[in-house]
A and B are shown apart, each in its own frame.
Chain A
Amino acid sequence: MSNHHRPTIGRRRALVRAGGFGLAAILGAVAAREASATPESARDWLSALAKGEFKEGKVTIRAPEIAENGNAVPVTVSVDSEMTDGSYVKAIYVAADGNPNPGVAAFEFTPASGKAEVQLRIRMAQTQKVVAVAHMNDGSLFTASREVKVTIGGCGG
């Protein structure tokens, strides 16, 4: 009988141990995820600023395919709009999904801006996607994204 029990206990211990490793692995993964933004957190950041459905189109993101220095990646975001009193871009929101935090910047425009375009330089900790959302004056939202491969990350960690 006692011989019968031993392997069971052994198996149980092994299971408990494996369970512990599993938990540690999950916690590790959660911690790793918390250290960086994700496509979901980037979307949440954008959704908090622009409520509604994001449609593809109108937005163009220009950025290098490969950025050797993640400390300053030149990015241009432009939105197709005539920028008149009747039809203009109210705002452009920019996020990145691989930095410690997803937010990058928000730019508000008026018809007097004449053109909905802004050039900026972004810090990128690693290879990631830049996501931009344009908020039109009629409330509609347009989005585009672009991946930038980063050779040396720039978040000073």
Chain B
Amino acid sequence: MSDDIKPRIRVPATAKKGELVEIKTLITHPMESGQRRDSEGKLVPRLIVNRLDVTYNGKPVLAATLEPAISANPYMAFFVRVEESGTLNFTWTDDNKQTWTAEAKIQVS
């Protein structure tokens, strides 16, 4: 199952110093809420991505803690103000402590 889980990010490659850049993220994940029943009427155990951490040049810019009320394939978009060129690092963590990462570079002029 975990083979299907892929993080996707959209980050502008370049920006001006001090610019607010919009970051879009999505991870393909069923976000099993723990509320759903299977065909035999048994509750399907909860398994969600419960955390997204984002840093820019190692400094935190967003930390999201997610509950089962977040939709499948959780999409989040937010902003980062960039003062110098650097790297955005993304880490998603699920209930089994499995993690997925992504990174993107921004060239600041």
Contact = CB atoms under 8 A, between A and B. Distances in A.
Interface size class of A (residues with CB under 8 A): 20 to 34
Nearest to A35: B35
Given A107-B62, A108-B63, A157-B35, A122 B69 contact: yes
A106 interface: yes
Interface in A68-118: 71-73, 83, 96, 99-101, 103-110, 112-115, 117-118
A103 B37 CA distance: 21
Contacts of B76: 118-120
Interface in B47-63: 56, 59-63
A155 B35 contact: yes
A118 B1 CA distance: 29
A110 B61 contact: yes
Contacts of B35: 100, 155-157
Nearest to B83: A112
Interface of A: 71-73, 83, 96, 99-101, 103-110, 112-115, 117-124, 154-157
